[in-house]
Amino acid sequence: MGKVFEKTNINGMSLGNRFIYSATWDGCADDNGFCTQRNIDMTVERVSGGVGLIITGMAYVKPEGKAAPWQLAACGDEFTDGLAKMAGAIHDAGGKVVLQLAHAGCYAPSAITGHEPLGPSANDTDNFPKCREMTLQEIDEVVDAFGKAAGRAQKAGFDGVQLHGAHGYLLTQFLSPFFNKRTDNYGGSIENRARVLVRAIQAVRNEVGEKFPVLVKINSEDFVEGGFTQDEMLQVCSMLEDAGVDAIEMSGGTVYASGAFSCCRVGALDTPEKEVYYKDAATRYKEKISVPLVLVGGNRSLEASEKVVSVGLTDYVSFCRPLIRESDLIKRWKEGDTAPAACIYCNGCFAPGLKGQGVQCIARKGNAAK
């Protein structure tokens, strides 16, 4: 069946294959962030469709860090029971699940959160949303919040957690000189800019122990002038390796960037050669970092997926929009229908989510936009 269908293990978490559903906001939680049956059904559907691991849509770790409506929350003990139902349902379906933890920083709209947006540095330009610089106490509180949220995930029965350090959200904002203009111990050098992320990982480990899988999602680069670079990514990943991270998922782009450099690029991938957006960054990563790599972005065909795994470019292949279009894509491939994913990468799937209908493919027959 090829290397992509091999069984693997990430710090005790046994996976049936190397295919992962990448964390995707699904717009299915209730108004207050509680997990709903729609959240559960959507994830179980993809487990039944053959993926080896589900990474949930981002769950905010503090109320002022909420990025979008109908987003999962992990910022209080009251959310644990609902999350436990999700984890239990996925396990009953034979799957494994990791809870993604996030804080949106300056991209947390005050209209949704009721709080003033915060970031590593104050911003009054039009480059990204206006925000206030975080105090040292607020940084400490965010670090603690990541740890506490991870503890809730463990209590709820999740198989691991992933810290969202990509796409321009708060942990990325600290990493990136595009956002971070601080002059204290959290700004300037890459060691300083990575300090919040490293401290958050330490806080998570203090809560969950050494035998609970901890993953990080990071940008290959920001694709904005003056942003986070590939060289800096490699330095940060070395720090993450030293911090004991169990796997790193590589993505790229930010909420700020558009078009070809967005974190959700548009445009059809009509040949395997056009697939896998971050090949060059992954090649450099594999030369320096031994932490297992999860590669997301532009993965569409079994042929390309098998190639990048078999040549050692990545350990896992992660999908988002293709599995929104076809939840049974991996099962279809395993059963012999190896046609590429039907996804056309139009980003239309997010429009229903913003209307409270949940993220869903609008290009699929019988599922037109409402």
Q: Catalogue the active-site residues.
A: 169
Chain mean position to CA 211: 21
Length of the chain: 370
**The two three-digit tokens of residue 250, written as one number:** 């590589």
- Angstrom distance (rounded) from CA 221 to CA 228: 5
Q: Which residues contact 27 (CB under 8 A, 6 or more apart)?
A: 68, 69, 70, 71, 350, 352, 353, 354, 356, 357, 358, 359
Give the H/E segment covering residue 203.
helix 195-208
Q: Which two tokens mark 101?
A: 């933890």
For the chain, how big is the Rg over CA atoms in Å? 19
CA-based nearest residue to 149, from 217, 98, 218: 98
SS3 19: strand
> Helices marked H in 13-122 — which ranges?
37-48, 80-92, 110-113
Six token digits for residue 191 = 């060691």
Q: For residue 249, which phi and psi values (nearest 5 degrees)?
A: -100, 125
Q: Is 196 left (phi over 0), alpha (psi -120 to 50) or beta?
A: alpha
By three-state DSSP, how is residue 55 classified? strand
Structure tokens at 327: 């939840």
Alpha carbons within 13 A on the beta-carbon side of 130: 5
Residue 143 host element (H or E): helix 136-156
> Phi then psi for 248, rounded to 5 degrees?
-125, 125
Nearest C-alpha neighbor of 163 from the set 180, 178, 175, 155: 175
**Location of structure tokens 């990563």:** 285
Euclidean distance between CA atoms 266 and 237, whole angstroms: 27
